[in-house]
Every structure is written in C-alpha cells, then in structure tokens.
Chains A and B, each alone.
Chain A
Amino acid sequence: MSGIAEFQPQNPLIVQGDHTVLLEVDNPLYVEARDALARFAELVKSPEHVHTYRLTPLSIWNACAVGETAASIVATLQRLSKFPLPGHVGASIRDSAARYGCLKLERRSEAALLLRARDLPLAEELAHQKTLAPFLTTRLDPLEFEILAGERGRLKQALIKLGFPTEDLAGYRPGEEFPLELRAQALSGPAFAPRDYQREAATLFYAGGSVRGGSGVIVLPCGAGKTIVGMACMALVRASTLILVTSGTAARQWRAELLDKTNLAEEQVGEYSGNSKAICPVTIATYQILTHRQGRDAPFTHFELFDRRDWGLIIYDEVHLLPAPVFQITASLQARRRLGLTATLVREDGREDEVFALIGPKKYDVPWKEMEKQGWIATATCTEIRLPLEEERRMDYAVAEARHKFRIASENPGKLRIVRQLLERHRDVPVLIIGMYIEQVDGFARELGLTLLTGATSQRKRDEVYARFRKGEIRALVVSKIANFSVDLPDAAVAIQVSGMFGSRQEEAQRLGRILRPKPGENQAHFYSVVSRDTVEQDFALKRQLFLCEQGYEYRIVTLDRPDELLPVDGAAAPSETAMLQSRVSL
C-alpha cells in the first residue's frame, strides 16, 4: 500500500512524479548517485544542497545508446531513492528505452539513406504521419524507407518530435584528412596538456570514431577551457575543421590558441569574417558573416563556405547563440561531424531541443561548483548591492511609463559611488565594469578615469587594450555588453555589473564567466551586481540571480538604506563579505 512505511532516509535521491530527480548533496552517497545519474539523466540545476535532474526521453535514449537498459536505470533509482519509485515513472522509462533502436538510419548510397523500422506497425505509423510525409517518399519494402541524404537532419528532428529516437548509423563523411597534434609545450612557453575532464569530454564526443560519436554538445563553465576541448576533438578527428564563433575577437582568440597549442602553421588557420575571407584547412568564421545577406529576402551568400571544403568537423562555439538561419543550414550538414561548445545551454527562445536534434545530444556536462571545487575555475563570490534611488529620481521613476522604468533604475547615479568604493576595495586586482547603456558606461569611464570599450571601439583598439589589460598595464576596464562573449581575460578577478539586460540568465552567466578562469594565488573571483532597490531592476535582477544560485553559487545581498550610504567596511583589505553580511542579516 503506502510508501510511507518504506522511507529510506539514508538514501540520497527523491524521484518525483514529474520525472525530476532530486539529489541530496550532503548525503554520504552523493558521489555514487551523481555518477549514476549522469548516465541517464539531465542535470537541470545544482543549487547548494539539492541538485535537480530530469529524466527525459532524450536522456534515456542517450543512455541506451551506450548500453544502459531500462531495468538497470530503474534498479539504480530504486536502490538510491528515499521513497519507492512512482509507478508511472518506471513505466515511462521502460517505454522510452523500448523506443530506442526501433528506428535505424543507415547509408544506402552517396545521396540516399535507409530508414529501417523494427516492426510493421511502427513502419505503418510512420508512413501515416503527415509531418514525415515530405521525407518518406520512397518505400522500399514494408519496413524500409529511402531518404534523401540532405534530409537527414530534418528527418531526425521530425522523428524526435514524434517521440521516436533514431539510431543514426549512417556515418559521417571523413572529410579532407588533416592531422593535427597538440603540443606538449605551448609556443608561449608553459607546458601544456589537456586536463582530465577536457580529455574525457573529447573522448566521449569522438567515441573512437564510431558512428555513435561524432555529434554532440559539450557544456562546461566559462573559463573551463572549451577551446582546449575543441582542439582535442580536432586532434582526434584529424580532418579539416570549420569553427563558427560569435565575433571577430573570438575568432582571433581561437586562432591564437590554435597556433599556440597545436602544430598548425599560420597559413593553415584562416579567418573568414568581415575583414578576411581566408579558407584554410582550419577556418574560423563568425556567425555574423554567415548570416549576412543583402536584403531580407536575399540568400545567405556565405553559406557556400560549408561547401568550399570537405570539412570533417564543424565546431559551433557558444552554440547557445546559434542564429536561426544557421539551424537551417545545419540540418543539411548531418553527414559531417558536429561539435557544439557552450557554458549555458539555455536559450531564451527555448530552442534547446533543436540544438540537440541538429547538432547532437549533450555529451558532457559538469556542474560549475564541481569544477570550482577541483580548482579548474576560480572560486567566485556573488554579491548584489541594492541602493535606493535618490529622492528626485524616485518621482521620475514613479511617474515614468513601464518601459522606461528599467532604464531610470539602471542609470541610478548613486551606483558610481558604490563602484568607486569597490574599486578602492579591490585596488590590487584587475576589474571589469560592465553595463548595458552607453551613456552610463561612458559616464563611469569619465568619472573614474578608466578606459571604455564599446561596440564602436575599433577592433584594433580593442585588441590593444585587451593586451594591456592582460599585462596589467590597465587595472580596470569599463565595457559594454561586447564583453559578454569570448573576451579572453584570464586575469580579471572582479566584475562589477552596473546594468543588465532584462533578466537574461544567459547574460548573467556569461558575465560571470569573464572572471572564472583560474587565477594564480587564491584563485578567487568576485562578481558584483549593483541594482536600484525597490525597482523593476531589482525584480529582474532576481531572475538573473536565480540562474547563478541554480549553478550552486551563493548570492549575497547587501541592502543600503539611504542613497548616500556607503558599503560597510570592516577594515581589512579586499575582505570577504561573509562576516559583514551575517551581522546584517539578523534573524
């Protein structure tokens, strides 16, 4: 009858009826349970004490692809759960697992593939699905359909939407052979070797060259070295590679890393962007150039890049930013190995499923806090400082239209005083000040006497400033949202966010990522977010805060009561906020 009498408090899992699985971090069996869940569940969020995973058909299918069975999954959950498994969860695991392998996609010829169903009822069901009709034009026998090779991706997408995973055994084009070796010593001097988790991620992706590998997404926190993972995959694939990145700066960073850490020569790495159109065995292109066209209805002329060489591997950097048109072209690239790299597979448009369908399933994912514990990324403290609006601004805010309130709150002049205090507190470490509004960041730069970088800053100037920042010649920078992505600043230890973008979780994570690269010494980073109290900015800040909490970061809040109030100071240089905050939070 009831499971009440079957409560096993010593176990770490709770399986809920909605297929989420809660994992108690403070439990002695945490590590065992985490490793078990990683095989068949998706990590959704990992706040401090209880992590949340989700059992999805896709996660079950991925588990089946590497040999798990429904029975083993259910047995693992039962063994580690505090309560009996809800009956329907076991049934749905079995149902999902049963669907794996019932459809196989194989190579028939250069231009055609074979879709084979396990049994006749399934074949008939597929034949009668309207959404599949455009693909299943030729039925070879009761169980087999011929598919055009170019429809491979869209077919898989459509089948996943119907709940049928397809075992894609059609293989990949090997591409133009292009061996690449990682250096044991970087050109810049230090010894170099991929870290264990980077090697593991690359191995999982490549899967020994079998058809079971070769396509997927690797999710690692900012600063964890996703570029290294990309290079390690290139070394395994040993074929010409097209790397798609978010900006020219990012392209140059990739180029620099490739030349520094691999045996590639300069003429073997080309940049395809607004400034240059070099196509080399390793070519780095920006999303912008790919999706550029003369007019709204004009074709994407640069898509031809995909056919200009026999690419053996396509890498999508920051894959969560994949523009919609690139989705379309990716659907026709299914014969090529595809690797997605990102820190945050959260898209505000909710198209994560398409990423999985067209690029590949998530192959590797490590919680940020785990990486922090192991020292691969810096330990970060996140603090939100709330200060009230000044009197005269409060009335402006109160009477403003809703769409203007956010800006008024964001551009609170009182923030300057706080930033000045924080700069003083962290005078010995490199600092980034990040804002959304050009007038605001411009004002900060002027008042604080700091260098400002915006979208209007020329590429050459940006590179020069970044170089000086890296060397320590510039201690603090004021940047607009261009700094969100792919700015390689390994020594930034403090980020101060003075305005953000309407609660974008992705933006919050990316900004934090600017300071997460490991640092010498304490390996400590600080992230501050300064918001106007009791305004919509505070409300939106909560949403962004949630994301970081769900990654496991402790988010502290300092609330100032008056517009002119200063941050509390305990007298120590660069103090930890903890003791101060504990005394403020009186219960």
Chain B
Amino acid sequence: MRFFDTDWNLILKWLEVWEKLSPATRQAFLEAKSHAQSVKPEGYGAELGEAMSLGLVEQTSKGTVKPAKASVPFRSLMVQLAKWPLFEGKPDREQLNEYLHKHYTSDEQQTLASWNHPTWDSPQRPESFLEAKSIAAWEEPLLSYYETVGDRYGYSWAVAEKTPPKKAWFTPPETVEAARHLMRRALESKRVWPLKAMAQELPERLRPALDPALKACLRHALLFAALDKQSFELVVGVCPFILYMANRPAPAPPAAEPCADAQGVPFHMEDMTQVLALAASDECLLNRTDYGRQFFKSVETRLQEEFVPLPEWLAGWMDFFTRLRAATDRLLRLGFVTDTCHKEAKRRLKATAAGRKWLVQSPADRLKEILFECQRLWKNEDWEDEDDSPESYFAHLDDEDVLEDSTDADETDSAATSRVSAGKTDLLQWQKSVWRQAPTESCVSLDAFLDYHARVSAPAPGAGGGARPRRNQDDELAKEELRRERLENFFSRALLPFGCVEATGRDPRDLRFRLSSAGQYLVGLKRTVQYGPEHADAPVVIQPNFEIVFLGPDLGAEVALASFAERCGRNVGTLFRLTRSKMILAASRGATAEGVLSTLVKYSSRPLPENVAEEVKSWFGACRSLTVRHSTLLQAGDPETALKVKQLLGSNFGQLSATLLEWPEPDLPSKLVGKLREQGLFLKEDNGRGGEI
C-alpha cells in the first residue's frame, strides 16, 4: 500500500495521541529500525507511562518497549514520511525526483510530468485544479490503469490485456469540494499545515470527505506530506517549490569580502601550450592503432609532470586525462595541430603554422588570442557533443523555438541559420553581462552569485532562455535553475580553465571568486590581459660546454631549438644540449649548419661561443650525401659469355669485371631479355628459387 492510500481518518485519530507527546518521545517512537524491534525505555523518559496508556507502545517481558500492534499502521506512515524532509529549506529537485521515483510508478511519473498537464512542480497545477470546470476532464489525463494494490503493469500491458477500467479519485462531488477547500487553504496560507489543523479547517459537512480528498490530492501530487524534523509533526502543503517561491526573500546581491589567497591560472591554455610545444618539436607521438587519440606512455608521463598543478578542490574535477583530452581537442578544433595518423609511419600530433605562430607569443598574448578564438567557437560552431559548449542546450532549443515560431514560409535556410546564430550570440552576451558584475578586487561566494543572478538576470529577448527551457517545465523556478546551471557551466568550462577567475575555497561548493585580468578582458571590462612575464629579451644562454640554459621561459626558443638540440630539461634551467648525434639527425631532415647557427644566434642573449659555432659546422661538415641508384647486375659464367651479352645488348651495359655486367635500371626490358633468349642466353634470378626471367 502506498502512503497516500492510508486510512487518513485513522491517522488523524492517532495524531490526537501524538500531539500529547513531546518531540523527544515522538523521536523515540520512530527510532527503532522496525516495528518489531523493542528498545530501551529510557528514550521515552517520563512520558513512557503516558505513551503506554495511550496505546502507542507496550512493554515486553524483558522490560523493553515496542510499538503496540494497533499503532503499527500509524508508525509505518510516520517512518516513511520521516525519510522525506520535503519542506526543510530550499527544495532539492533531486530529492523530490527521488521522492516521486519512490512513491510512483514510472507511468505515473510520466503522467505527472506529461505535456498535457501542468507539471507537478509548477504553480499552474493547483490553479488548474481549482479552476477546472470539469474535474473529470482535469483528472482524466492523470489516470493510470492501476489498482491501489499490486500495480505492476504499465499502460501497454493494460491495453493489451484489457485490464480493469481507470479509477477516478475525485468522486463524489464532496471529495472534490473538500479537496478544493484544502488546496485553497494551503495555497492562500503559503505555508505548511499540521494535518490535524488542516483537517479542522474543513467545514463539518465535508469532514467525512477528508480521507478520500487527501488520498486524491496526495496521489495527484496536489498536496505533499512530510514530517517536521524538529517537532515530528505531520504536515501537509502544496508543492515545496511553490511554497519556496512564495516565501523566499527578495534577491540580494552577494556580499563581497577581501580574500588574499584567491588564485587562478589559465591551466587549460597552459595545458594546450605544453601539448603544442611537444607537437612543435615532433615529440607528440600517438598510438597508431588507437581509434581515438592515445598518447605514448612516455609522452603522457612527461606532460603529466609539466601540467600546472591545480588546487585540491579543482584537482578532483579535472584529472590529468580529462585535461589532456580537453587540451588536445581544443588544439585540433582551433587548427593548431593536425593528427598525422594517415600520413606518416609514426602517428603524431604536428603543429601547424598557426599553432607555431600562437606558441611563440608571450603568455598574455597567447591567452588573449585563445579567449578571442574560443568566443568565436562558442558563438558559431555546431557542437556535436553538447557537453562541449555551455550554451549548447540553449542553442538547440533556439533552433526549435525560432524555427517553429517562424511564420515566413519563404525564409531560406541560411536566413534561418543567421537568426539562430543571432540567438546564440545573445546568450554569450548574456553570460558576459552577468559575469561583468562579478567583483575584481574582493571575492564573492560563487553559490550566492549564481543564485542571485539566476534570479535577476533573465537572458535577452530572442534568446533561448525566454522560451521554455525544459520540456513542460515553464515555471520560474525551473527557468532560474536552468539559468543557474548555464552560468555554472560557463564558470567551470570557460572562466575557470582560462584563468578568467581567481578562486579560493576548500571544495567546489565553498568557492569564493573574483574576476581576473583575463576575465575582465573576456567580459569587455579591459582591452588587455596581464598574465605571465612580459616577452622580455631572450633569456636563453648558450654555454661553451654546449649546454643551452633557459633563464626564463621562452616557448618559441624551446620549439625552435628542439629540432636540433637534445632535450635534457623542461621549462627553465638547462633544457638542451648540443650533441653530434642530434645535429646529424637534424641534417638528415634537411637542416643546415647556417640555419642552425642563425637560430642559435637569434635566440641567444649572449654572443655564441666560438667553439660551439665551429663544432656545429664541423658536425655538419662531416655529413655526406650518397646517391642510391638501383641497377641490374648480370653475372656471366665466363668472360666470353659476358662479352657476348655485351655485344648483343649494346653500349648501355657497364662492365664491372670480366664476368659482371651492369644494366643501369632496376629491371631489364623484356625486349632485351628476348634478344638474349634467342641466342640461348637464359637469365635466372639469383634469389634462391632460380626462376627463369
């Protein structure tokens, strides 16, 4: 039996007993794990006797106390209701969904959220009930084929097996009147009522209809029942969302407070930089056989060491592999790298010209450019994966809403796409307009900021936020929740990874933040970004002992030098060593001594040591190119035969020795073979098989 099918008259009787007991005694009564479990009497305190005399509990032969048999149904209901504190604080949508899931079958849940009715959590629902001219018509879409007991079959089964007809709950008219009375009272008061008090609100003539009215209202989620956590009073009220919206205070801007330890770094950009730097120096090897993009273990290990560490609260969200995938995907999407899986024997990520150009800029310029590029992507790109874009959900709905609303039958597809794009642009502008209001000096609570702006910052007209944000959930709270979700997504997927905010806190729920220089640039408060050291004079030193020391980070230099120097470090310090083997490798790829030396001179902040220059020239000077030519050798058995062959085949043959002839092509023309055969000179392959040519 489900709780709304309880005998409410019986419950009301027990509530008269219940109200005589203190909260402590009530708690003791509900604490046992099951009805059969007996507990020590101490929990009941001085009220034990009264509880026993009222028939609530009885004492066992061992002196312990357990619920009296008669009180078990009452206890059962109260224990069930105690698990669902529906009216404590701000309603939790996840908890309420769980509540529905627990108490309603899947078909019932679908009807509660169906297109044909205001959803259970919207204010329109009780209003529609109160205003419905025909309650039967109102109720009909909500009915399922279930009996009160043993409801195991869904609609399709019922249709197939022609199960018993639907049972309406708002019959007879007294039930409807009583239900409407209860609803009106609940709505007007905008609070929860102890059930007993609510029952007393009913006119005398409608009291007999209280039980069926309550059953129906609870079944159709017009009323909700719960147990007060402090007093253990049984209370009822309309949907917690409606009550919350009716009673919550006016929105107040979040209070800013100083915070000295807020930090932020554009870790996503830095991650991209590290991957791109490897790609630019041809070190970013990928597993050839993997369908996706699996890096070599050595590459992953190196990148893991290089990726900037994140604070604990963020590290839990963003593990290394998530970051690596995000960085690689972004680089590919921006066209900074290509995946050479089909072009070369060794699969790798290769930096494109655009990627190299981006890489050699100062950190601030790189960040600025990446923020600009990403905004373009957020505006214009069609996302295959919704999760990639904080705006994607709005964007898709924009398509549907805008296209559906179009009355221009002659509108071309491109015009429609433009309108859709315009809709998307508005959303990005909306995000910016919200985040522009974040503090830049002191910090605010992220939660409070999101709550506030989700309430007050409706998206611009024409943007998706104005339309129904979720299927059949058009109440204001749902819209607010969606706006909050979108703002939160933008924070976690756009602002945080790009260092647009500086934050501090122990965990994601406890964050305080402010806009950083990059964030101010993104939202249009600043025209420049301050990040990292200025692109100062080349901090690279080339030592006479062939070491290349970086006194400061210089990615452009790193990338350029990696093509011919042996890497022995990362980021700063002794990063490279000039070695003969690496120079020879560079030579094999087309590098020249002049090119290498000019690169060294270009990046070195000191004069290039003479011995280094000489040694480089010497290494290149020792390289030689050899030409490979394929030819055919004919080995004759004796000089006379060799001469005969030569005479037959003309001057193109070279004579390497008395019996060895060379034809300067990989294959002998068949004409020549034929000529020899005519003279009884047969050619055999010297490959062990001895086949005749």
Interface residues of A (CB under 8 A from B): 1-2, 4-5, 7, 9, 14, 16, 20, 22, 24, 26, 45, 47-50, 52, 82-83, 384, 386, 533-534, 538-539, 542, 545-546, 549-550, 553-557, 559, 581-582, 585, 587
Known: A5-B265, A9-B536, A22-B574. A384 touches B551 (CB 8 A): no
Decide: A1 and B598 in contact? CB cutoff 8 A.
no
The answer for the CA separation of A83 and B613 in the assembled complex, in Å, is 31
Decide: A1 and B545 in contact? CB cutoff 8 A.
no
By a CB distance below 8 angstroms, the chain B residues around A545 are 611
By a CB distance below 8 angstroms, the chain A residues around B606 are 26, 48-49
Known: A1-B311, A49-B543, A550-B545. A7 touches B611 (CB 8 A): no
26 contacts across the A-B interface (CB closer than 8 A): A1-B265, A4-B363, A4-B532, A4-B553, A5-B265, A9-B536, A9-B552, A14-B573, A22-B549, A22-B551, A22-B573, A24-B541, A48-B544, A48-B609, A49-B543, A50-B543, A50-B547, A50-B551, A52-B574, A533-B618, A538-B618, A554-B544, A559-B614, A559-B617, A585-B614, A587-B608
Min CB gap A381→B, angstroms? 11
Closest 3 CB pairs of A and B: A557-B614, A549-B545, A549-B544
Q: Which residue of B lies closest to A547 (CB)?
A: B545
> Which of B265, B549, B574, B608 contacts A2, CB < 8 Å?
B265
For window 580-627 of B, CB contacts with A under 8 Å fall at 580, 597-598, 601, 606, 608-611, 613-615, 617-618, 621-622
10 extra interface residue pairs, beta carbon distance < 8 Å, beyond A2-B265, A4-B270, A559-B614: A1-B311, A7-B532, A14-B573, A49-B541, A83-B572, A534-B618, A538-B618, A549-B543, A549-B546, A549-B611
Decide: B267 and A546 in contact? CB cutoff 8 A.
no
By a CB distance below 8 angstroms, the chain B residues around A554 are 544, 609-611
Decide: A581 and B610 in contact? CB cutoff 8 A.
yes
Total CB contacts across the A-B interface at under 8 A: 117
For window 252-267 of B, CB contacts with A under 8 Å fall at 263-265, 267
Q: Which residue of A lies closest to B601 (CB)?
A: A587
The answer for the CA separation of A585 and B597 in the assembled complex, in Å, is 11
The answer for the CA separation of A554 and B613 in the assembled complex, in Å, is 13
The answer for the CA separation of A433 and B363 in the assembled complex, in Å, is 55
The answer for the CA separation of A49 and B531 in the assembled complex, in Å, is 29
The answer for the CA separation of A326 and B613 in the assembled complex, in Å, is 44
Q: Which residue of A lies closest to B546 (CB)?
A: A546
By a CB distance below 8 angstroms, the chain A residues around B141 are none
By a CB distance below 8 angstroms, the chain B residues around A2 are 265, 267, 270, 308-309
Cβ-based interface call for B674 (8 A): no
By a CB distance below 8 angstroms, the chain A residues around B617 are 559
The answer for the CA separation of A553 and B618 in the assembled complex, in Å, is 20
Decide: A7 and B573 in contact? CB cutoff 8 A.
no
For window 516-564 of B, CB contacts with A under 8 Å fall at 531-533, 536, 539, 541, 543-547, 549, 551-553
Q: Which residue of A lies closest to B545 (CB)?
A: A549
Cβ-based interface call for B208 (8 A): no
Cβ-based interface call for B466 (8 A): no
Decide: B615 and A542 in contact? CB cutoff 8 A.
yes
Known: A2-B308, A555-B611. A45 touches B545 (CB 8 A): yes
Cβ-based interface call for B569 (8 A): yes
Decide: A557 and B549 in contact? CB cutoff 8 A.
no
Decide: B613 and A4 in contact? CB cutoff 8 A.
no
Q: Which residue of A lies closest to B537 (CB)?
A: A9
Decide: B545 and A557 in contact? CB cutoff 8 A.
no
Decide: A585 and B541 in contact? CB cutoff 8 A.
no
Cβ-based interface call for B310 (8 A): yes
By a CB distance below 8 angstroms, the chain A residues around B614 are 556-557, 559, 585
By a CB distance below 8 angstroms, the chain B residues around A82 are 551-552, 572
Decide: B608 and A47 in contact? CB cutoff 8 A.
no
The answer for the CA separation of A585 and B606 in the assembled complex, in Å, is 16
The answer for the CA separation of A553 and B569 in the assembled complex, in Å, is 24
The winner among A49, A83, A556 for most chain B CB atoms within 10 A is A49
The answer for the CA separation of A423 and B546 in the assembled complex, in Å, is 31
The answer for the CA separation of A572 and B611 in the assembled complex, in Å, is 23
The answer for the CA separation of A26 and B531 in the assembled complex, in Å, is 27
Decide: A7 and B553 in contact? CB cutoff 8 A.
yes
Q: Which residue of B lies closest to A52 (CB)?
A: B574
By a CB distance below 8 angstroms, the chain A residues around B311 are 1
By a CB distance below 8 angstroms, the chain A residues around B541 are 24, 49-50
The answer for the CA separation of A432 and B267 in the assembled complex, in Å, is 61
Decide: B265 and A4 in contact? CB cutoff 8 A.
yes
Min CB gap A264→B, angstroms? 43
Min CB gap B602→A, angstroms? 10
By a CB distance below 8 angstroms, the chain A residues around B553 are 4, 7
Q: Which residue of A lies closest to B550 (CB)?
A: A14
The answer for the CA separation of A384 and B533 in the assembled complex, in Å, is 41
Min CB gap A200→B, angstroms? 28
The answer for the CA separation of A48 and B546 in the assembled complex, in Å, is 11
Known: A22-B573, A554-B544, A587-B597. A1 touches B549 (CB 8 A): no
Decide: A582 and B598 in contact? CB cutoff 8 A.
no
Min CB gap A272→B, angstroms? 41
By a CB distance below 8 angstroms, the chain B residues around A49 are 541, 543, 549, 606
Known: A534-B622, A555-B611, A587-B597. A546 touches B574 (CB 8 A): no
Decide: B615 and A587 in contact? CB cutoff 8 A.
no
> Which of B531, B533, B544 contacts A555, CB < 8 Å?
B544
